[in-house]
Amino acid sequence: MAATALAAPLVSLSVKSTQAQTENLTFTLINRASSPLTEFYTSPTGVNNWERDILGVDVLNRGESAQVSIADGRRTCIYDIRGIFADGETVEDYRVNLCDLQSYEFFDRSPNGSSDRSPVRALW
């Protein structure tokens, strides 16, 4: 059974120029957690289901990154995010402004590598 972590993410205060809402939403996804990221979902806030797994058959191992581009034609910047790891842990983050986001990073909050994970939103 997957545990759900609803941790408060750390937020950087540096901001890039806001993208127009009609452009693709692009950011770098980074996995610094001890377990591989096996699934990654984004859905506009208010949508009642998670959309397709952005990673597909790919896996993001510790220290790896991937460029994510969301071209869904929607005119919103605010999305919910869900990451599922190989060890069964699920991390969800809500109301993330993807228009201002440069990178999104998962990491282990505990120094001993336990599965207590949290996301970081980098705005620079």
Q: For 3-23, what is each residue's pLDDT tens digit?
A: 333 332 322 222 344 444 457
Residue of 119, 113, 117 whose CA lies nearest to 34:
113
Residues contacting 47, CB < 8 A, separation 6+: 80
pLDDT at position 40: 97
Q: Across the strands, what pairs with 104? A: 29, 121
**C-alpha to C-alpha distance for 1 and 92, rounded to whole angstroms:** 16
**C-alpha to C-alpha distance for 15 and 46, rounded to whole angstroms:** 25
Q: Across the strands, what pairs with 60? A: 37
User: Torsion angle of alpha carbons 15, 16, 17, 18, nearest 10°?
Assistant: -70
Beta strands in the chain (DSSP E): 4-5, 10-11, 25-32, 37-44, 65-70, 78-85, 90-97, 103-108, 117-122
pLDDT at position 117: 54
Whether pTM > 0.75 for this model: the answer is no
- What are the tens digits of pLDDT across the range 61-120? 999 999 999 988 888 999 999 999 999 999 999 999 999 889 999 988 755 544 455 555
pLDDT at position 86: 95
pLDDT at position 108: 83
Tell me what the mean pLDDT of segment 43-56 comes to.
93
Quick check: 38 and 57 in contact, CB under 8 A? no
pLDDT at position 75: 87
Listed by start position, the domains of the chain span 4-122
pLDDT at position 15: 35
Q: How confident is the model at residue 27 (pLDDT cuts 50, 70, 90)?
A: very high
Domain 4-122: give its CATH superfamily: Domain of unknown function DUF5300 (2.60.40.2890)
